[in-house]
Amino acid sequence: MALVQTELDSRGVFTITLDDPNNRNALSRQLTIELIAAIDRVAEDDEIRLAVLTNTGKTFCAGADLRERSTGGDNLQAPDPLALFRGIIDSPKPWVGRIAGHAVAGGLGLAAALDLSVIDETAKMGFTEVRIGVAPAIISVICLPKMRRSEAAAAMLRGRRFDGAEGARLGLVNAAVPPAELDGAVDAIVDDVLAGGPEALTATKSLLRTVPTLDRDTAFSEMAALSARLFENPEAQEGMAAFRDGRRPGWSPDGPTTW
C-alpha cells in the first residue's frame, strides 16, 4: 500500500500526506521513494501552484526508520535522503507545512525545510540524534541558519524534546497554534500564497535562498536586474492592471481584492 497520499484540487493546491502512522511516518525506503516522487511532481507539473505537506496519525515524521537501519540490507537500493530536502528547498513552487504531530530528528529537518509551516502547539519537536549515538548532521544544514548559535547548541547537544510553540520561537517553523486552529491557519497561508503571481513567487523563493549568500554590491546588481525583468513580463503587467482596476489578477480568481 502507498505510504504517501496525494491530491490536487481545482486551485492548484497539491496536498501530500505522509500516511504510515503505524511506523510514525518514519523515513523508510518506501516512504522516502514515494515522497521524492511527489516532490518531483510538484516541480514538474504546471497545474500545481503550491504544495501542502501534512500527515496522518500523531507523528508528522519521526526521522530515519531506525528499525530498517538496524537490520542493514542493500544500501545501494536506499534512496538519497538529500533529495527530500533539496527537492523542497530548490523547488520553484512554495511549500506549506501542516505539521499535525510530532516532528523529531529528520522529521524536524523536513518541517524546517518547508517555506511556510504551522505546527500543532502540543506536538513535540527535537534534535534527538545524540541520544542514539549520532549527530543531526544533514538537518543542521537546514536548521542552523534559522537559529541563534546558543539556542542551537542547547537544542542539539541536550537532545531534549520541546513543544511546537518553542519550535516556532526558535524559528524552525513559522507558527504554533492549538490543534483546533491548525486547518484555519494553514488555509490562511494557502490563500495568501495563491494571491501571488506564480512567476513572482518563484523569483521570491529564489532570492530568499541566494541574496544572503551574496556580497552587498553583487546582491544589489543582481536584484536590480531581476526587478527589471519581472516588471517587463506579462504577469507583472496583469498584476499592475488589476491593481489599477481594483480587481483580482487573472491568476487569483478566488483570492483577496485588498492590496
Residues marked active site are found at: 129
Q: What gap in Å lies between CA 31 and CA 132, rounded to an integer?
A: 22
Asked if 160 and 193 count as a contact pair (C-beta separation under 8 A), the reply is: no
114: phi then psi, degrees, rounded to nearest 5: -70, 150
Element (H, E) at 230: helix 216-232
Q: How many residues can be counted in the chain? A: 259
Radius of gyration of the chain (CA): 19
The DSSP string of 169-211 is: HTTSSSEEE-GGGHHHHHHHHHHHHHTS-HHHHHHHHHHHHHG
DSSP 64: B
